[in-house]
Chains A and B, each alone.
Chain A
Amino acid sequence: MMTKNGKTIPVLTVVLAIIAIWYASVVMMNAPFVYDQAERAKVEPPAFSELISKTMAQERPVLPAPHQVAEEIYKTTVLKKITSKRSLIYHSWITLSATMLGFIIGTALGIALAVGIVHNKAMDKSVMPWVITSQTIPILAIAPMIIVVLNAAGISGLLPKALISTYLSFFPVVVGMVKGLRAPDSAQLDLMHTYNASTSQTFWKLRWPSSMPYLFTSLKIAVAISLVGAIVGEMPTGAVAGLGARLLAGSYYGQTIQIWSALFMAAALAAVLVMLVGWAHNYVLKRMGEKPEGAIA
């Protein structure tokens, strides 16, 4: 029987379907290489069953098979020491630290701008267009410049990458928080006025709590694009370390398995980060006495 929370079966079905399509694509995309090899070696092309096993055991396949990616991830996480330059956990940590720092700065900046925009007419008119314009500039164009300029100023390492994450992640926070801080209706604001409440009292007792659902929704987006920012920021640094570096190095040397395993690691990281924000969201709303789903007054 399907219950409200019975998501396992539908999700598993989709996962299985994706894996099946993936394997079929592996055979199709890697087969030309197998035929090519046979032709060069002047032997008969392999039979179908042999063809299948050969498409899934190549060193640099066009499309690696799922089990090859899984094996690579296992080898570079469990079997490697964390301090090793070949450990995926080491690279993930490099990326994660830049992501988190950028996310924290971006959130603080976003909230500060939103507070200014909501409370100051001049800021409302002048800042918002620039906030929107900032996001029309491709991050791929601006990332190398941030790295280079900061490098020239003697700042390198974590901070420049984090600032690229900040550049991306402050945007959803500003937009969400402006809406959230303006969420109280006119009757609630009028009531505060009749109490002769100061601006800061109105902010802390009314606007800030009202904005919480908006804040967490924005944070989910912000944390995911923070990760994108950190990965993009790792590419122009000469591919030293981090998931972005693994992706770039993999593509330089045709190491498709390495690319795919870094990709999966990044996706898993994003999923975990979004989930953590989701948990924080639920926790805060519960503490705020939110009506439980399905409850009857």
Chain B
Amino acid sequence: MSNSVVSTQNLSLTFETNDGPVHALKDINLTVDKGDFVSFIGPSGCGKTTFLRVIADLERPTGGTISVNGMTPEEARQARAYGYVFQAASLLPWRTIDKNIAVPLEIMGLSKADQEKRISDVLSLVDLSNFGKKYPWQLSGGMQQRASIARALAFDADLLLMDEPFGALDEIVRDHLNEQLLKLWDTTNKTICFVTHSIPEAVYLSTKIVVMSPRPGQVYDVIKSTLPRERPLDIRESQEFLDIAARVRDGLKAGHSYDD
């Protein structure tokens, strides 16, 4: 077995709608290796979120094959092989941050002591150690999103699926969280699949950038980043960074006709 975490062959997904079939995904052939940080970028309707949802067994493909950790997505979900982070933090307002992170742990049936240890571990990973007893409304938007990342990390899955997790935050907070996420990825050695609309975000974070095009949702280009693993924020002014960003931008332009 290779060290691929996600691999697909000719993966397709067609939604039947009243206006005829919509090809959300068509013939996707992709491999995500262990330890990769893969960004999916493309215009609305290119299927990047749908692809993430197929990995998470939230959508069923209509053609081709996909394996997650060598299993079907359903088996992977039942084995809790991944954590999922949505654009909205989706914290339960009636639970404190501690108790929110405990939700998946309670469902897994972990002991109280084990739960507490994991909660304090992941809270320190996202720099929220002193906020466990607070309710979500007492935290800023960026802190809420960090709490939701902590929740996704809590059951220690090797794969983290993130669907525009910072899309609703302002740019200053976003920069900060990007930096934190990279550190987190570096220390935990997780595999991350990350959906975004932002070219700088994709280039800054990723080891591999998947450029997608819409109608039907297809992979247009896969760019391997040449940036070093250690990335200070000002790497974004380097020529290397700008070159990769230019290639992503070209790919987006070519894959999507802006005339229609």
Q: Which residues of A contact B (CB under 8 A)?
A: 185, 187-188, 190-197, 201, 205-206, 209, 212, 288-291, 295, 297
Known: A190-B58, A205-B103. A195 touches B93 (CB 8 A): no
Which residues of the partner chain B approach A192 to less than 8 Å between Cβ atoms?
107
Which residues of the partner chain B approach A205 to less than 8 Å between Cβ atoms?
92, 103, 106-107
Tell me if B56 counts as interface (CB < 8 A to partner A): yes
Which residues of the partner chain B approach A194 to less than 8 Å between Cβ atoms?
56-58, 77, 82-84
Tell me if B257 counts as interface (CB < 8 A to partner A): no
Which residues of the partner chain A approach B92 to less than 8 Å between Cβ atoms?
188, 205-206, 209
Nearest opposing residue in chain B for A288, CB measure: B94
The segment out of B110-118, B132-140, B239-247 that lies at the interface is B132-140
Which residues of the partner chain A approach B103 to less than 8 Å between Cβ atoms?
195, 205
Give Cα distance in the complex from A185 to B92, angstroms.
11
Tell me if B29 counts as interface (CB < 8 A to partner A): no
Give Cα distance in the complex from A240 to B163, angstroms.
67
Nearest opposing residue in chain B for A191, CB measure: B90
Which residues of the partner chain A approach B137 to less than 8 Å between Cβ atoms?
291, 295, 297
Interface hub of A190, A191, A290, A295 (most chain B Cβ within 10 A): A191
Cβ contact within 8 Å between A291 and B135: yes
Give Cα distance in the complex from A192 to B80, angstroms.
11
Cβ contact within 8 Å between B94 and A185: no
- By DSSP majority rule, is chain A's interface helix, strand, loop, or mixed? helix
Within 8 A of A (CB), among B122-140: 135, 137-140
Cβ contact within 8 Å between B106 and A196: no
Cβ contact within 8 Å between A290 and B84: no
Within the complex, the shortest CB–CB distance from A189 to chain B, in Å, comes to 10
- By DSSP majority rule, is chain B's interface helix, strand, loop, or mixed? loop
Nearest opposing residue in chain B for A212, CB measure: B94
Q: Which residues of B contact A (CB under 8 A)?
A: 56-58, 77-78, 80, 82-84, 86, 88, 90, 92-96, 103-104, 106-108, 135, 137-140, 155
Cβ contact within 8 Å between B90 and A187: yes
Give Cα distance in the complex from A195 to B80, angstroms.
6
Partner of B95, one of A187, A196, A212, A289: A289
Cβ contact within 8 Å between B80 and A209: no
Give Cα distance in the complex from A201 to B106, angstroms.
9
Which residues of the partner chain A approach B90 to less than 8 Å between Cβ atoms?
185, 187-188, 191
Nearest opposing residue in chain B for A205, CB measure: B103
Give Cα distance in the complex from A291 to B96, angstroms.
12
Within the complex, the shortest CB–CB distance from B110 to chain A, in Å, comes to 12
Give Cα distance in the complex from A201 to B107, angstroms.
7
Which residues of the partner chain B approach A191 to less than 8 Å between Cβ atoms?
84, 86, 90
Cβ contact within 8 Å between B95 and A190: no
Within the complex, the shortest CB–CB distance from A16 to chain B, in Å, comes to 41
Partner of A196, one of B80, B83, B139: B80
Within the complex, the shortest CB–CB distance from A287 to chain B, in Å, comes to 9
Within the complex, the shortest CB–CB distance from B150 to chain A, in Å, comes to 14
Give Cα distance in the complex from A196 to B109, angstroms.
12
Give Cα distance in the complex from A95 to B90, angstroms.
46
Partner of A195, one of B94, B107, B139: B107
Cβ contact within 8 Å between A187 and B80: no
Within the complex, the shortest CB–CB distance from B133 to chain A, in Å, comes to 10
Q: List 17 A-B contacts (CB under 8 A).
A: A187-B88, A187-B90, A190-B56, A193-B58, A194-B57, A194-B83, A196-B78, A196-B107, A201-B107, A205-B107, A206-B92, A209-B94, A288-B94, A290-B93, A291-B135, A295-B137, A297-B138
Give Cα distance in the complex from A291 to B103, angstroms.
21
Interface hub of B58, B82, B155 (most chain A Cβ within 10 A): B58
Within the complex, the shortest CB–CB distance from A292 to chain B, in Å, comes to 9
Which residues of the partner chain A approach B80 to less than 8 Å between Cβ atoms?
195-196
Give Cα distance in the complex from A288 to B100, angstroms.
13
Nearest opposing residue in chain B for A204, CB measure: B106
